[in-house]
Amino acid sequence: MASQKRIAKELADCTTHAPAGMSIALATDSDVHKWHVTLDGPAESIYSGGKFGLVVTLPPEYPFKAPVVTFATRIYHPNVTNDNVGSICLGLLKAENWKPASKLLSVLQAVRLLLVEPQPDDPLESRIADEYRRDRAEFDKNARAYVQRYAKGPVKFDGTNVGADAGAAGGSGKRSTG
């Protein structure tokens, strides 16, 4: 029950103090363990103009176990799997770094910052990270193409705006563990 109270408090904090361009709602009224987050691509990023869906899943052991955050919207990014799963590599969410005192608002702020400042040295998609480091113009072109293709219009959390073609704009390359 303490977990439920903590989650309710954090949901209230997140909805009241959400970062600019972000809205948070429960996936269903009856389940506080799954949140739908809509994130506008930050103006200072290559993802500007896009709308991205994030799914935040809180395990029953929360806050002693980290939440799982995935992109519901396909995104071309070195720290997000280039597939229909959208797993994120974020240091704060790694088991060895997660602390029960960590807050979901900090997690959401860190995801937003990851769009502004990708971390190519800790990638899930090595090929995209290499492209980011070696050919920034090509990376920017591919990222913008993904924004146009997947992140325009209303955000869908049912998997219909992740696409099935991992080969678009270069596709999925060699993966790292993030």
Domains and CATH numbers, the chain: 2-152 (3.10.110.10)
Catalytic site residue from 89, 107, 129, 169? 89
At residue 161, does pLDDT exceed 80? no
Beginning with the edge strand found earlier in the chain, give each strand of the sheet holding 31-40 in spatial order: 22-28, 31-40, 51-57, 68-71
For tokens 């209303």, the residue is 154
Q: What are the two backbone dihedrals, phi and then psi, of residue 26, each rounded to the nearest 5 degrees?
A: -70, 145
The pTM for the full model equals 0.88
Q: Quick one: CA dihedral 97, 75, 119, 177, positive or negative?
A: positive
| Lowest-pLDDT choice from 47-61, 126-140, 163-177 | 163-177
Question: What is the pLDDT at residue 143?
Answer: 98
Question: What is the pLDDT at residue 96?
Answer: 94
Summarize pLDDT for 29-46 with one digit per residue, the tens: 889 999 999 999 999 999
Q: How crowded is the C-beta side of 22, counted as CA atoms within 13 Å? A: 24
At residue 167, does pLDDT exceed 70? no
pLDDT, mean of residues 86-114: 95
Annotate 51-69 with b (16+ C-beta within 10 A) or e (fewer).
Answer: bbbbbbebeeebbeebbeb
- Alpha carbons 127 and 138: distance in angstroms, whole number: 12
Q: Which of 162, 177, 54 is nearest to 124 (CA)?
A: 177
At residue 118, does pLDDT exceed 70? yes
89 is a catalytic site residue = yes
